[in-house]
């Protein structure tokens, strides 16, 4: 089973818009597959194309079109010996409201799909009840909701507390290791587990002859078993990926970091040199006053040394085109305020900026002392009534992130460059092919107090 986020997140998914991943998954013989928010990265038609003849049932109880038709079955029922196990799927409404908002609308702004944000607990309960009526002895929830405070009001903890009849929750979305129990609406303790991120663990779910449920997280490096058919397709994909990504495009004298070195994703809650570098690239590419990139799309650390094109894709894996927009100073301030509003917790909307500096006060989540870089290298106070140009990408303009503050703003230029290609161009052209000591650390653009 998987609880989603399989199509995208790294180089193979980015290069093939999910096809390489699906090719591998076909060899895995899944019992059930749930959806995550990243399954919507390439919009619904691409999702449907990839899963059109997939060799395992896809389940999601809260994904509908606007005519009230559920896009995939709410659950599937599988038989093991003389026991029937139902797998129910649910995906976070955050995908429609925030991160992948654009995927639920067409180019004309018409709303075509919905994740039923106000109804999903009821839809989960209905699916559980239907599965029980159909003869399910056990119900497993493939939940892509997460358990973190910043996932509220959509999280697995609250969902368990609001429902009954679920035996175990296999959680995803928050990308942290979870192994806990949560009381359901009838007071029964329900195990909830999450294997973590980047294939850190494999989850093993066992139901013994007496009906006892045990879930174990096994570190991936401890798994000795090998599937020859899976290995063969993985090697084939690696060859295809290497052929497209092996080229050295630049060199870095310093580590390019999104974490603090201990795995904590600082790019989602503080300025990092990876954020500075990417925002600088967008501002330079579009000749804008300000560069802006949300921390959630800057993904991995890069070490000192040669930078291959595949490394750049790992750092910036999504298919976002670089745009130049015009907004007011007040819109910028509001976008910054929303981006820092969940501190000290992570937030994919945390703003990594160029040509702009400001101070954040965590106690009241306020933004102050905002200043814009001038042509002579000095800074001047940001004027809420003035207009400024921003080099960013299509995601916030199309309603993703920052509470929709930048949605529908004036678009001055739509380049055909992906944001990762803009970064390569910036390093090779503006920096002479080398990320130097000026990026040895973050540059003090965002002061958090």
* Segment 272-320, tens digit of pLDDT: 999 999 999 999 999 999 999 999 999 999 999 999 999 999 999 888 8
Tokens standing for 403? 């509470």
H-only helix segments in 17-148? 19-25, 43-51, 94, 120-133
CA 279 to chain centre: 19
- Cβ contacts of 19-27, under 8 Å, gap ≥ 24: 19/50, 20/237, 20/240, 20/241, 22/50, 22/51, 22/54, 23/233, 23/237, 24/230, 24/233, 24/234, 24/237, 25/54, 25/56, 26/54, 26/55, 26/233, 27/227, 27/229, 27/230, 27/233
Give residue 152's pLDDT. Answer: 62
CA torsion, ordered 318, 321, 301, 276, to nearest 10 deg: -150
For residue 335 the two structure tokens come to: 């976008």
Confidence class for position 150, pLDDT limits 50, 70, 90:
low
Res 244: pLDDT: 82
381: alpha, beta or left? (left if phi > 0; alpha if psi -120 to 50):
beta
Mean pLDDT of the chain: 92
More confident residue, 101 or 281: 281
Task: Kindly state the average pLDDT of the residues 216-231.
Answer: 87
Give which of 186, 175, 246, 228 is closest to 15, Cα–Cα. 246
Q: Which residue has the higher pLDDT, 224 or 353?
A: 353
Report the range of poorest mean pLDDT among 8-12, 137-141, 388-392, 430-434.
Answer: 8-12
> Do 57 and 73 touch, CB atoms closer than 8 A?
yes
Scan for tokens 């927009």, then name that residue: 325
Residue 327 pairs in a beta bridge with 388
With beta carbons less than 8 A apart as the criterion, state whether 417 and 285 touch.
yes
User: Binning pLDDT at 50, 70 and 90, where does residue 257 land?
Assistant: very high
The phi and psi torsions of 208 (rounded to 5 degrees) equal -85, 180
User: 210: cis peptide before it, omega within 30°?
Assistant: no
Which range, of 52-66, 148-162, 402-416, 430-444, averages the lowest pLDDT? 148-162
pLDDT above 90 (res 70): yes
How distant, in Å, are the alpha carbons of 135, 237, 289, 441 from that of 404? 44, 37, 21, 31
Mean pLDDT value of segment 21-49: 92
pLDDT of 14 reads: 79
Q: Of 124, 130, 143, which is closest to residue 191 (Cα–Cα)? A: 143
Over residues 207-217, the mean pLDDT reads 88
CA gap 276, 439 in Å, rounded? 8
Helix (H, G, I), strand (E, B) or coil at 444: coil
Q: Is the dihedral of CA 78, 80, 85, 90 positive or negative?
A: negative
When the candidates are 2.102.10.10, 3.40.50.1860, 3.20.20.10, 3.90.780.10, the CATH number that belongs to 248-448 is: 3.90.780.10
Q: How do the domains of the chain map onto residue ranges?
A: 11-237, 248-448
Q: What is the pLDDT of residue 200?
A: 83
Q: How confident is the model at residue 178 (pLDDT cuts 50, 70, 90)?
A: confident
Residue 180 has a CB neighbour count (10 Å cut-off) of: 14
Residues 338-361: pLDDT tens digits? 999 999 999 889 999 999 999 999
Is the confidence at residue 328, as pLDDT, over 90? yes
**With b meaning 16 or more CB within 10 Å and e meaning fewer, what string describes 148-174?**
bebbeebbbbbbbeebebbbbbbbbbb
pLDDT at 42 (0 to 100): 87
Return the DSSP state at 97. Answer: I
Tokens at 176, concatenated: 């942290």
What is the third-level CATH fold of 11-237?
A: Purple Acid Phosphatase; chain A, domain 2 (3.60.21)
Q: What is the reported pLDDT for 149?
A: 53
Say how far residue 196 (Cα) sits from the centre of its chain.
Answer: 14
Residue in 174, 393, 138 with CA at minimum distance from that of residue 286 = 393
Comparing C-alpha atoms, which of 425, 405, 437 is closest to residue 280?
Answer: 425
Shortest CA distance to 401 belongs to which of 444, 355, 337?
337
- Measured CA distances, 251 to 277, 310, 381, 438 (Å): 13, 13, 35, 14
Contacts of 330 (CB under 8 A, 6+ apart): 384, 385
**pTM metric for this prediction:** 0.74
Output the pLDDT for position 9.
Answer: 62
- Distances in Å between the alpha carbon of 46 and those of 16, 21, 82? 11, 13, 38
Q: Is the peptide bond before 96 cis (omega within 30 degrees of 0)?
A: no
């Amino acid at each position: 089973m998987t609880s989603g986020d399989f199509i995208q997140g790294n180089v193979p998914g980015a290069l093939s818009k999910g096809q390489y991943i699906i090719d591998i998954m076909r060899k895995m013989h899944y019992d059930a597959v749930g959806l995550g928010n990243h399954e919507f990265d390439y919009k619904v038609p691409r999702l449907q194309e990839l899963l059109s003849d997939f060799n395992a049932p896809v389940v999601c109880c809260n994904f509908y079109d606007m005519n009230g038709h559920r896009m995939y079955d709410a659950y599937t029922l599988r038989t093991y010996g003389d026991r029937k196990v139902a797998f129910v799927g649910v995906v976070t409404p955050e995908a429609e409201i925030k991160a992948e908002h654009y995927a639920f609308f067409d180019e004309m702004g018409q709303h075509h799909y919905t994740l039923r944000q106000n109804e999903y607990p009821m839809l989960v309960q209905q699916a559980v009840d239907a599965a029980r009526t159909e003869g399910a002895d056990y119900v497993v929830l493939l939940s892509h909701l997460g358990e973190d405070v910043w996932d509220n009001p959509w999280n697995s903890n609250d969902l368990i507390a609001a429902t009954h009849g679920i035996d175990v929750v296999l959680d995803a979305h928050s990308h942290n290791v979870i192994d806990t129990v949560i009381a359901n609406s009838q007071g029964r303790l329900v195990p909830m587990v999450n294997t973590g991120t980047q294939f850190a663990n494999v989850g093993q779910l066992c139901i013994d002859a007496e009906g006892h449920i045990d879930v174990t997280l096994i570190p991936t490096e401890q798994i000795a078993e090998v599937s020859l058919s899976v290995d063969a397709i993985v090697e084939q994909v690696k060859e295809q990926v290497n052929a497209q990504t092996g080229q050295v495009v630049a060199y870095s004298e310093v580590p390019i970091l999104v974490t603090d070195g201990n795995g904590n994703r600082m790019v989602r809650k503080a300025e990092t040199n990876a954020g500075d570098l990417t925002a600088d690239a967008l501002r330079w590419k579009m000749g804008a006053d300000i560069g802006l990139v949300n921390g959630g799309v800057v993904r991995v650390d890069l070490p000192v040394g040669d930078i291959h094109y595949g490394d750049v894709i790992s750092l910036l894996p999504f298919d976002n085109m670089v745009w130049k927009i015009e907004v007011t100073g007040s819109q910028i301030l509001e976008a910054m305020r929303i981006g820092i509003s969940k501190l000290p917790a992570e937030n994919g909307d945390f703003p990594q900026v160029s040509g702009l500096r400001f101070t954040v006060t965590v106690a009241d989540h306020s933004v102050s002392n905002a200043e814009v870089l001038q042509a002579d290298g000095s800074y001047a106070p940001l004027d809420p009534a003035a207009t400024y140009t921003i080099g960013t990408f299509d995601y916030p303009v199309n309603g993703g992130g920052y509470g929709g503050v930048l949605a529908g703003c004036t678009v001055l230029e739509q380049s055909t460059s992906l944001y990762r290609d803009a970064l390569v161009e910036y390093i090779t052209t503006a920096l002479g092919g080398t990320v130097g000591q000026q990026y040895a650390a973050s540059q003090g653009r965002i002061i958090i107090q």
